[in-house]
Amino acid sequence: MSPSVAKEPSYDQPWRPQYHFTPPQNFMNDPNGTVFYKGEYHLFYQYNPEGNVWGHMSWGHGISSDLVHWQNLPVALHEVRGEYMAYSGSAVVDWNNTSGLCKNPDPSDRSCLVAIYTAAYKDRQKQHIAFSNDRGRTWTNYSGNPVADLDAPDFRDPNVFWYEPQRKWVMVAVLADARTLVVLDSPNLKQWTKRSTFGPAGDTTGQWECPDLVELPIEGTNQTRWVLIINRNPGAPTGGTGVRYLIGRFDGAKFSSEVPDAPALWADWGKDFYATNTWKDISPTDGRRVWIGWFSNWQYANAEPTRLWRGAQSIPRTLMLRRYADGLRLVQRPIRELESLRQERLRLANVSLAEVNQKIRETGAKGEVYEFEAELRPGQADEIGLRLRKGKDAQTLVGFDVAHGEVFVDRTLSGDISFSKDFAGRHSAKLEKNATVKLHVFVDRSSIEVFANDGERVLSDRIYPPPGSDGIEVYAKGSGGRIVLLTMWELHSVWK
């Protein structure tokens, strides 16, 4: 029996997430080819079929009808051993068969799926395409590959979309080491013409990876702006990898930024959110732009203390822009489909911290897999928050530092931190001034994601608590803190 169709594990190992996507076994990193087609969300991902560290990069594959419950499929695109590995990229629906690769037996349906990926040769990186005429179950590499080649060692991570105003395909890719975006276009996905470059936009070190160019709505208006998403390695605020973005305009050939290069804008202020990809072809009646990110950091991705599997994806999140005093900013919210996993455990309003902790003890509210929404009023306290995944020798803090106006996650005592000197730490982000702070938090067996003030700031962090670390407690440093509202839900496993 081949590894691609081997019997799947139970998804019940220690630290195995219960509602985040993880591979059945072995190493996973970047999400790839996120596309919606004929009722199915596709999630491809960088995958090593042969081990639990990076190598032999191929495209793993999962599908879902709701972005929450996933079915694993066989490896979609394999490395060609001794020639190239299949690095990151994107996938599109070629609705009108511009490529000539769609061979649908139904004459009224001219569509098929086309994947665009980087073929990483020994000393050069080139863009290949592959196509599927059976809804993504099997894939054929195009005989005319490569379709784009700049004769460069670091030309990678193509993200392709249909640009309706000019009826053409647009590709954004990077010259990673030069921190430069390259914009190309094509009538048919097979021949590409370079149109412009952008960058390095104030970056002086590290690499640009996994670009995306998306048009996002401005909350509360009928306006939109184009957002250029650049995954940065290293150079993120907490060290290592992170997601930078710029806001501006796009004319079909060139992106123009309307924000200063410095200070850089960041999508996530935790340490473990990288290599993002947005879903293509979500129904226009849905109207959302949804993305997902690899839930790790290259500083320690190969050393995380899991064995059978390694690597996870974030929860999917909707994207929009919101106007603040200092300009437009990206905001993220958890997808609404996650609410289907909820079972309410606790609901409290306008109570003291002591009353909350008493109620937690009375109801036995605890666990490894849950979601909560809390609105905190600091009063005279210097800090207010929650101790999560609390055990005899472990806890992870999620809270608000009043003096600095910062929401934070502190995983210094979160459990196993021994596998990397770069793992432990306190990660924070400034918030707009408010009398109260709203925290929407998702806890899984090895992760915490915090959405503060309706997605104004997001912090994503992996944690590795010891067995039995399932306690929950509210706390404050100083007096007068109150809980305006707190609701907690247990979340059902998506793998059972």
Enumerate domains of the chain plus CATH numbers: 3-334 (2.115.10.20), 336-491 (2.60.120.560)
What gap in Å lies between CA 348 and CA 374, rounded to an integer? 9
Put simply, whether the predicted model's pTM sits higher than 0.95 gets the answer: yes
3-state helix, strand, coil in the chain (%, to 5): 5, 50, 45
Q: What is the pLDDT of residue 7?
A: 54
Which position among 12, 30, 177, 393 bears the catalytic label? 30
Burial class of 81 by CB neighbour count within 10 A (0 to 12, 13 to 18, 19+): exposed
Q: Which residues of 103-123 are buried (b: 16+ CB within 10 A; e: fewer)?
A: eeeeeeeebbbbbbbbbbeee
52 CA to centre of own chain: 20
Q: What is the pLDDT along the chain (496 residues), one digit of tens a residue?
A: 344 444 567 899 999 999 999 999 999 999 999 999 999 999 999 999 999 999 999 999 999 999 999 999 999 999 999 999 999 999 999 999 999 999 988 888 999 999 999 999 999 999 999 999 999 999 999 999 999 999 999 999 999 999 999 999 999 999 999 999 999 999 999 999 999 999 999 999 999 999 999 999 999 999 999 999 999 999 999 999 999 999 999 999 999 999 999 999 999 999 999 999 999 999 888 989 999 999 999 999 999 999 999 999 999 999 999 999 999 999 999 999 999 999 999 999 999 999 999 999 999 999 999 999 999 999 999 999 999 999 999 999 999 999 999 999 999 999 999 999 999 999 999 999 888 999 999 999 999 999 999 999 999 999 999 999 999 999 999 999 999 999 999 999 999 8
Angle at the Cα of 98 (from 92 to 101), degrees rounded to 5?
Answer: 80
Q: What is the pLDDT of residue 1?
A: 39
Q: For residue 272, indicate whether it is catalytic.
A: no
- Phi, psi for residue 281 in degrees, rounded to 5: 65, 25
- The structure tokens listed for 222 are 């009928």
CB 428 within 8 A of CB 398: no
- Phi, psi for residue 272 in degrees, rounded to 5: -130, 65
Closest Cα to residue 91, out of 27, 48, 45? 45
